[in-house]
Structure 1
Amino acid sequence: MPLPSSSHFVLIPSYNPGAKVFDTVQAARAQWAPVWVVVDGSTDGTAEQLQALAEQDEGLEVFVLPTNQGKGSAVLHGLDEAARRGFTHALTMDSDGQHPAELIPRFMQASARRPDAMILGKPVFDASAPLLRVRGRKVSNAWANLETLWMGIGDSLYGFRVYPVEPLRKVMRGQRWMRRFDFDPEAVVRLAWQGVQPVNLDAPVKYFSAGEGGVSHFNYLRDNTLLTWMHSRLLAGFLLRLPVLIWRRWIGSRR
């Protein structure tokens, strides 16, 4: 098992993920310490089993929220605790086994080289990826790149990424949004507005069928409505910030 880091930790928000969460946690622990799981009001019994695992593993810590509050809220809970303990960077990954735990060290090393940046996973899809999901995310990516004046966000939706803790906490505490499914794209856009540069690294993504133990909470109508509302808000914010964003790009081009 790796020695624990005092600056970087793995943060896994989890809501009714099924048995895949145990594979995810064990794979993450094989690569990094500490690993934190924030159970977001799960009702499938995984919270108790994860707590039992944590009792046997000093590198694993489990936080249990009493009710389901959304992915963003679970992440913020972890960030607040991380700030209290002096951690500076959090690698977020989903609990359902879709993200590549073996790349955790590479992403952490990239963050150590660029602590001012956000290290964003850029998904590499295989045949398991639903075509509608692959095509649909192109719309969100196009909006995110427009809203940041093409700062270089490779993928706005892929949640395997390393955030600097304090900039993200400041952004989230500064407004009421970024608490549910639409957390990931709003986080990168708002951090880009604050001058946090993106660094993109390719990372595979695996979609598991129900027969393989895959669990999906994605609802096309509900979640695409959330994304549409989110990008409407961000577009308004982009227009207000446009002079500043243009100035930054101009200054950056002269360096």
Structure 2
Amino acid sequence: MNYCVLIPTYNNAKTLAHVLEGVLQHTPHVVVVNDGATDQTALILEQYPAVTVVTLPKNQGKGKALQVGFEKARALGYEYALTLDSDGQHYPEDIPVFLEAAPAETAPVLLVGHRDMTQEGIPKKSSFGHKFSNFWFHLETGVKLPDTQSGYRLYPLEHIPKKYYTKKFEFEIEVLVRSSWRGISIKSVPIKVLYDPATRVSHFRPLRDFSRISILNSVLVLIALLYIKPRDFFRKARQKSLARFIKEDILESTSSNEVKACSVALGLFLGIAPFWGVQTVLTISLAVLLNLNKSLAFLCSNISIPPMIPLLLFASFKIGAFFVGGNLLPEGDINLNFIKTNLLQYLIGSFVLAFSVAFLLGSLTYLVLRLLRKRG
């Protein structure tokens, strides 16, 4: 494999030499990005003339250091960059784990080292951040990855994005999500991890960096739900015959009858209930969270298309009148003033209607699918 090991480093003089010694036992192709270190990092790197060193004049963040390293690796003709941290938590002996896993893939793949975050010595804040990041990555991509925060990764340099919007710790989330959106397979490989408080220096600033990561995840979720998910949905529809698309993506043949019925019910409920403007976001988010059929739920949520809106409004107001009183029918058109005057009537009626339709059609879907399966 035509690869190099890429090590971004900033003020990790205590562990840098040990990391380099371990890596050089596996490969001479090493690129180190000195991210404006102010300790003895530069003097240590002078002792390794075979290592390619890129020095940034001032500290710009791990993400920027990785981006500079990717550019240097491409310029040197490498096809892959295997990144690991210089704080000593990663074992160079795990390099062969990545090299053995990558050739087995027929399509571009980005491999991420999977650490055992349940072992003794793992800080609780790291374990929490680990679970938090995994949840958001799944929501943004639909891909389950056991360790989205690991910096031990093998990047296919010609397939990952070339331009990025972040340059701190949040970069490692951005590159994973956007690579997945480009169709790159994201998979994990098992690795060992060492947290030694005596030598490990962490530059993660909990409040500031966690805030930046949260903002990035919020933006990525919106992009995923408003653009990426619908884009992928229609791409699949164009690439397949109608019958195959319905069977594989709408019905998801491998899903159970219960999952399909619940997906129909979820989509109908959110499509009818008054979640104006965010039906799609809520539908796909909850479908991902509950492991439901996303395509089927999304399709059913579109019950509130323009031709259906007058009927849904009429039914909501009429049902609501039985609970809170009010006019069964407006004296004219159902306009904004009527809705404002009878808002409670509409809200209660729409929720009752949404629940009723979701329950009835969800149950009907389950019964029909069960009958069809018996006949098949």
Which bracket does the TM-score occupy, shorter chain normalised? 0.7 to 0.9
> Partner amino acid for 2:89?
Q
Q: Secondary structure at the match of 1:12?
A: strand
2:166 corresponds in structure 1 to 178
Shift of 1:109: 2.3
What is the aligned counterpart of 1:117 among 109, 117, 131?
109
Distance in 1 of aligned mates of 2:190 and 2:232: 26
1:248 to 1:203, Cα distance in 2 relative to 1, 3 A? farther
1:230 corresponds in structure 2 to 216
Deviation digits for residues 35-62 of structure 1, max 9, x if unmatched? Answer: 1111000001212221x2222xx3x222
CA contact (8 A) 1:41 1:65 kept: yes
What is the aligned counterpart of 2:29 among 19, 26, 34?
34
Higher relative contact order (CA 8 A, sep 6+): 1
1:23 corresponds in structure 2 to 18
Distance in 1 of aligned mates of 2:208 and 2:168: 12
CA contact (8 A) 1:148 1:245 kept: no
Are residue 217 (structure 1) and residue 197 (structure 2) matched? no
CA contact (8 A) 1:152 1:198 kept: no
Are residue 45 (structure 1) and residue 33 (structure 2) matched? no
1:248 to 1:38, Cα distance in 2 relative to 1, 3 A? farther
Shift of 1:163: 0.6
Between Structure 1 and Structure 2, the one with more strand by share is 1
Distance in 2 of aligned mates of 1:146 and 1:113: 27
Q: Identity over aligned residues, as a percent?
A: 33
Q: Is 11-20 or 127-136 further displaced after alignment?
A: 127-136
CA contact (8 A) 2:83 2:154 kept: yes
1:54 corresponds in structure 2 to 48
CA contact (8 A) 2:134 2:144 kept: no
Shift of 1:137: 1.8
1:64 to 1:244, Cα distance in 2 relative to 1, 3 A? same
Q: Secondary structure at the match of 2:96?
A: helix
What is the aligned counterpart of 1:245 among 232, 241, 245?
232
What is the aligned counterpart of 2:9 among 10, 14, 31?
14
Between Structure 1 and Structure 2, the one with more helix by share is 2
Distance in 1 of aligned mates of 2:15 and 2:224: 38
2:84 corresponds in structure 1 to 93
What root-mean-square deviation, in Å, do the aligned CA atoms of Structure 1 and Structure 2 show? 2.0
Deviation digits for residues 141-188 of structure 1, max 9, x if unmatched? Answer: 100111002x232221111010101222xx241x4x131111112111
2:179 corresponds in structure 1 to 191
TM-score, normalised to structure 1, is 0.87
Highest Rg: 1 or 2?
2
Deviation digits for residues 116-157 of structure 1, max 9, x if unmatched? Answer: 1011111113311101210222111100111002x2322211
Q: Secondary structure at the match of 1:119?
A: strand
CA contact (8 A) 2:13 2:44 kept: no
TM-score, normalised to structure 2, is 0.60
Segments of 5+ residues of structure 1 without an aligned counterpart are: none
